[in-house]
Amino acid sequence: MNKNKKLSPIINYNGKRIERIPVQTRILTSEDNIAQVIREYALPLMQQGDILTISESPLAITQGRAIPVEKIKPGRLAQFLSSKVMRVPYGIGLGAPTSMQCAIDECGTLRILFSALIGGFTKKFLHRSGDFYRLAGIQAALIDAAETTTIEPYVHTVIKGPLYPEKVAQELSRELGFPIAIMDINDIGGCWVIGASKGVDKKFLEQVMKDNPQGQSDELTPFCIVRMVD
């Protein structure tokens, strides 16, 4: 449970009571298989009708997507573009050269440059935010900068978004027999289903998980079971 907030594990949604059950695990690494981790920690707690949500960063870690900053060599474009990113109190994002370089590596130089030019124009002249990420794509939006997490050994790593989240959710659901959703959630109200198995109501999950019941610090809760109480 998110230690920074007094959150109830049970909330009301459209007249129904929904329980959110964070599932604690050990610290995950690239040596872990996400299906085996779910079998070990989450499946013993699950009941018929439950949905399992998976946080995107722990999934990405198991895919080898956590890159130590000493292995990232920001180029001139990354240095320049990162200096233009607006600083906000809730995170660094692409405002660090290392995370911007990862965005360039993931999305391509031309796409990032085009997105930056259009995003800067629409923000300055149309007062519209978010065009950079809409144009750059999902992987640019999912990158977590170094020092975003307090969990060692990932403090000084950039964590890229997970690969093929929709495909992974569908494969895990077929293998494990429960609906699966992969989610990007933060403490400022951001809640986004980035991949889900067949039949999962994404809007429902984004509403019942938007207060971030798992937390994102040292709770070590990469999974959350969503259960209808009534």
Lowest mean pLDDT among 118-122, 156-160, 218-222: 218-222
Q: Mean pLDDT for the chain? A: 92
Burial class (CB in 10 A: 0-12, 13-18, 19+), 28: buried
Nearest 10 degrees: Cα torsion 109, 114, 115, 121: 150
pLDDT digits (tens, 9 = 90+) for 20-40: 999 999 999 999 999 999 999
**Better pLDDT: 4 or 222:** 222
The topology (CATH level 3) of 10-63+163-228 is: 60s Ribosomal Protein L30; Chain: A; (3.30.1330)
pLDDT at 74: 97
pLDDT at 4: 45
Q: Measure the CA–CA gap between 68 and 146, rounded to whole angstroms.
A: 8
Over residues 120-132, mean pLDDT: 92
The phi and psi torsions of 15 (rounded to 5 degrees) equal: 80, 5
Q: How confident is the model at residue 150 (pLDDT cuts 50, 70, 90)?
A: confident
SS3 52: strand
Lowest mean pLDDT among 99-113, 129-143, 205-219: 205-219
pLDDT digits (tens, 9 = 90+) for 8-22: 789 999 999 999 999
Whether the pLDDT of residue 65 is over 70: the answer is: yes
Strand ordering across the sheet containing 16-23? 10-13, 16-23, 223-228, 51-55, 180-185, 191-196
pLDDT at 95: 92
pLDDT digits (tens, 9 = 90+) for 85-120: 876 655 678 999 999 999 999 999 999 999 999 999
Whether the pLDDT of residue 217 is over 80: the answer is: no
Domain extent listing, the chain:
10-63+163-228, 66-159
Whether the pLDDT of residue 125 is over 80: the answer is: yes
Q: Measure the CA–CA gap between 203 and 15, rounded to whole angstroms.
A: 16
Could you tell me if 216 and 56 are in contact, meaning their C-beta atoms sit under 8 angstroms apart?
no
Q: Measure the CA–CA gap between 194 and 202, rounded to whole angstroms.
A: 9
pTM to 2 decimal places: 0.91
Structure letter (DSSP) for residue 146:
T
CA dist 104 to 76, 122, 155, 207, Å? 11, 21, 21, 32
pLDDT at 92: 78
